[in-house]
Amino acid sequence: MLAVREVEDIFADIVDCVKAIDPANVRRWFEKLTVTHLSGGSLEVGCPDEATVQFLRDNCKNSFTQAAQQITGHLVAVDFNIISRDKTGRRSLRPMLGLKLHPDYTFDNFVVGPSNRLGHASCVAVSHSLGDTYNPLFIYGSSGLGKTHLLHAVCCEVRQKSDQAVIQFLSCEEFVNRFIRAIETGNLAGFQSQFRTVDALVIDDVQFFREREQSQEEFFHTFNALYNNGKQIILSADSPPGKISSLEERLISRFSWGLVTRIDPPSYETRVAIVQKKAHVRGITISDEIAEYIARKAHANIRELEGALTTLYAVSTTTGKPITLELAQVALEGQIESAARYISITDIIEVVTGHFDVRLTDLQSKRRSQSITMPRQICMYLARNLTKHSLEEIGGHLGGRDHTTVMHACSKIGEAEQNDSQMHALLADLTKQITKVPRD
């Protein structure tokens, strides 16, 4: 039998070892983890809340298992559980809500700047008083600007305020999948009561409703039931309600009943603050100089800032070198270049539809007139060249076309680029617009 002190020392060594094995997933709050059991080939780690448990189970099980084995020299089964102290000082399990919240995605960890001030403020307001302020709350913006983070933060805040509040938080894709399953298994009533009896329904990425008519219909009724009972609805999407193609008019109008708020790409100052915040969350210390370097170089998408930080930390841990500006420059050279080039299909479609003055719905339609076919093919060609998406994915964005259609478009436009100087100039101009640096 090991003494408590010994167990704690061993656990501290295990955590240090995890840091070396998997620097990307290390968080400052690892220091708050405790060991609740270590013997007989099993290690139980005590965590402060459900979000932490989920994060560790999803991301760190392997590294903890490997580390535990390395430190103890035995095969060890690892599990993570919530512990908290109730008023009597005894350890007790807190009830679970069944949400899978990410521990990093809190209001505390969200940097507020001009680009997201309104979105942030409305989420905070809603979390203070469900159903009373903005209902529904609709947040939209390009990928990687913090929509999902904010939705998690609302749920996390509500959860902290009240264990009783029932929240359903899921991606639109999951809503659709569960709906399909309910139909298949003939359990529509169960599905409906699951969603219509909550205090808050939070659905991420509702652009996924696109062209899913039956799901839209179902959601329409869910929406009405909740709304009429004063229950909160929070939605996010990559575009405003009216620009989500093939979304029913009655949903568009309902989505706009409350507050529709946009998140823009962050300014340089906000990016620097985000880098610092992300470093802090991971327990890394970096100088302002390095944060500024990363923020200057990686501007397209906040995920890229995080990726840069992870690489830097990993290089520093594995080489044992301190994090200096020089190390950052060497470590991030390739990565940041690709980060700077990060472009989404949505960016491409936005520029191309703007240039040709056509709508996304036209590009996604079956229409074959030259005025539509050409911009559609140009989108495909640029998506092929400027993103890492597969032919299938590109076809999916443009009205569910199959990969041979995309391939045909690519070779046709590619050929025109070679042989037609006007097309050459047009493509160069569009590419420049698509890859342009967001203004600070």
Query: Which positions touch Mg ion (CB under 5 A)?
Result: 147-148
In whole angstroms, how close is the CB of 202 to Mg ion at the nearest point? Answer: 12
Summarize as ranges the residues that interact with ligand ADP (CB under 6 A).
104-105, 109-111, 116, 141, 143-149, 274, 277, 302-303, 306
Under a CB-based contact definition with an 8 Å cutoff, are residues 147 and 141 in contact? yes
Helix (H) or strand (E) holding 137: strand 137-140
Distance in Å, CB of 204 to Mg ion, minimum: 6
Q: What's the closest the beta carbon of residue 111 comes to ligand ADP, in angstroms?
A: 4
Q: Are 275 and 120 in contact (CB under 8 A)?
A: no
Nearer to ligand ADP, 46 or 144 (CB): 144
**Non-local CB neighbours of 418 within 8 Å, separated by 6+ positions:** 424
Q: Which does 309 bind (CB under 5 to 8 A by kind): Mg ion, ligand ADP, none?
A: none
For residue 183, give every residue at least 6 positions away whose Cβ sits within 8 Å of its Cβ, in sequence order, or none: none
Using DSSP's 3-state secondary structure scheme, residue 92 falls into strand
Cis peptide upstream of residue 322 (ω within 30 degrees of 0): no
Partner in contact with 241, chosen from Mg ion, ligand ADP, none, beta carbon below 5 to 8 Å by kind: none
Closest to ligand ADP by CB, 116 vs 316, is 116
If we measure between CA atoms, which residue out of 51, 17, 61 comes closest to residue 281? 51
User: Cβ 306 to ligand ADP, closest distance in Å?
Assistant: 5
Q: Which residue is nearest to Mg ion (CB)?
A: 148
- Contact (Cβ atoms closer than 8 angstroms) between residue 183 and residue 215: no
144 binds, options Mg ion, ligand ADP, none, Cβ within 5 to 8 A by partner type? ligand ADP
The span from the CA of 201 to the CA of 281, in Å, is 28
Q: Which does 111 bind (CB under 5 to 8 A by kind): ligand ADP, Mg ion, none?
A: ligand ADP
Q: Considering beta carbons, is residue 306 or 362 the nearer one to ligand ADP?
A: 306
Nearer to ligand ADP, 111 or 308 (CB): 111
Residue 240 or 414: the one with the smaller Cβ distance to Mg ion is: 240
Query: d(Cα 241, Cα 135) in Å, to the nearest integer?
Result: 14
φ and ψ of 37, to 5 deg:
-160, 130
If one counts every other C-beta atom within 10 angstroms of the C-beta of residue 27, the result is: 18
Q: How far is the CB of 174 from Mg ion (least distance, A)?
A: 13
150 vs 251, beta carbon nearer Mg ion: 150
Residue 160 CB partners (closer than 8 Å, separation 6+): none
- Write the single-letter amino acid at 148: T
Q: Which does 149 bind (CB under 5 to 8 A by kind): ligand ADP, Mg ion, none?
A: ligand ADP
Residue with smaller CB distance to Mg ion, 147 or 271: 147
CB 361 to Mg ion: min, Å: 23
What is the nearest approach in angstroms of Mg ion to the Cβ of residue 236? 7
Q: Which residue is nearest to ligand ADP (CB)?
A: 146
Total residue count of the chain as it appears in this document: 440
Q: Which of ligand ADP, Mg ion, none does residue 110 bind to, with CB < 5 to 8 Å depending on kind?
A: ligand ADP
Q: Rounded to whole angstroms, how far apart are CA atoms 206 and 200?
A: 16
